[in-house]
Amino acid sequence: MDLFWLFCAGEDSGDILGESVVCEIREKGFSAVGAGGARMQHAGLKAVVPFDELPVNGFADVIFHAKKLKQHLCKLQKLLLNEKCQGLVAMDYPGFNLKLMQLALRLGKRIIYVEPPQIWAWNPRRVRFFLSPEAKKRVELRSCYRMNVLAYQKYGLPIRQIEHPFAAFSDLKKTEAFSPKEILLLPGSRVSQAKRNLSLYRKVAQKFREKKIAVRFVASRKEVQKFLEENIGEFPVVLSPVSTEERFLQMMSAKAVVCGPGSAASEAKWTGTFCVVASRIELWTFLMGKLFLRTRHIAMPNIEADSVGEKPPFPEFVQSVLSNESVQAQKIFQAIESR
């Protein structure tokens, strides 16, 4: 095996941000090995664990997949111990990456952490992992979100603000002529998430179909695409493009987007597409969020707008699985219709 850097991305957001870092490491003459999705693999990552088995959503999901997740973590840790491993590139996913980072520090290896834990929103004690003399010496922090940059700077930690991948195509908004006609529905990047949101998103889709407005479901990965195709055959389902430019154009060409509070909401903001943030959350996770989440909103575009006293750009309808989904669907529909 050639000299390599170990990569770990466990979510679609990490896969999106990790693509450029894979290119960066390979341009320096190293191989990229580890965990990452289609975008990182397209850039040259050699995947050693199944990316589709890494994303989890909520406490119950973590417990249910605990054994398999532990196996994947152990495999990544063994690669980190390999003498040919030059360092760790961590993308978000703190459940794995903080453990990998601690091991890398004990081994004296360099770490690049892209989108470190959101200490301003949840569990601020995690900052302690970055405050040791060894961590300050060996960990390079990067984030494309102003909130994260400011949070780590408050602790005297240098952190580099990077561009969102969509920034490279922002001029297309001025030069491309589009006539948006359809609603894009993104019910979740994980099958478990898509299952919880399926009935809600179907109700929303049916409301738009009654108004003769086209709708299209977008799946972030093949296993989600398969699940949606098997359960909502009456509506078209497409796989999200690997190409960043194609994703930008897909998002920009929509009349509106309905999605969860993750990376899709940020992408909609970059394209200037109206977005409704909607999700159904397992009860325990919902209650924990109510108790410990330190922000009034959960979608990053809304959080960042609120932090500077601006009006949040997107309505949020995020409720527990015990809430009335028919009422939730009607609110989503009305939010888009009133635009």
Does residue 170 lie in a domain region? no
State the total domains in the chain. 2
For residue 61, name the pLDDT band (cuts at 50, 70, 90).
low
Length of the chain: 339
| Cβ-based neighbour number of residue 196 at 10 Å | 23
The CA-to-CA distance between both ends of the chain, in Å, stands at 55
Same domain, 82 and 114: yes
Instruction: Identify the sign of the CA torsion 154, 155, 161, 166.
Output: negative
Note the pTM of the prediction, 2 decimals.
0.91
For residue 57, name the pLDDT band (cuts at 50, 70, 90).
low
CB 106 within 8 A of CB 88: no
For residue 135, name the pLDDT band (cuts at 50, 70, 90).
very high
Q: Is the pLDDT of residue 56 over 70?
A: no
Question: Alpha carbon 304 to chain centroid distance?
Answer: 16
Q: Which of 103, 130, 162 is the last residue of a domain?
A: 162
For 36-48, write each residue's pLDDT tens digit. Answer: 999 999 999 999 9
Query: What is the per-residue burial (b if ≥16 Cβ within 10 Å, else e) of 241-274?
Result: bbebeebbbbbbbbbbbbbbbbbbbbbbbbbebb
- Tell which wins on pLDDT, 94 or 53: 94
Range of the domain at 202: 182-338
| Cβ-based neighbour number of residue 44 at 10 Å | 14
For the chain, what percent of residues have pLDDT higher than 90?
78
CB 184 within 8 A of CB 218: yes
Query: How high is the pLDDT of residue 55?
Result: 64
Q: Tell me the two tokens of residue 331.
A: 């609110």
For 146-157, write each residue's pLDDT tens digit. Answer: 999 999 999 999
Does residue 291 lie in a domain region? yes
Distance (Å, whole) CA 93 – CA 8: 8
Q: Is the pLDDT of residue 171 over 90?
A: no
Does residue 96 lie in a domain region? yes
Query: How high is the pLDDT of residue 190?
Result: 86
Instruction: Kindly report which listed range (78-82, 93-97, 98-102) carries the lowest average pLDDT score.
Output: 93-97
For the chain, what percent of residues have pLDDT higher than 70?
93
Same domain, 259 and 129: no
Same domain, 134 and 283: no
- In the beta sheet, which residues pair with residue 159? 141
- What CATH number is attached to the domain comprising 264? 3.40.50.2000
- What CATH number is attached to the domain comprising 115? 3.40.50
Long-range contacts of 321-327 (CB under 8 A, 24+ apart): 321/196, 321/280, 321/281, 321/282, 321/283, 321/286, 322/283, 323/280, 325/199, 325/200, 325/203, 325/280, 326/203
Same domain, 36 and 111: yes
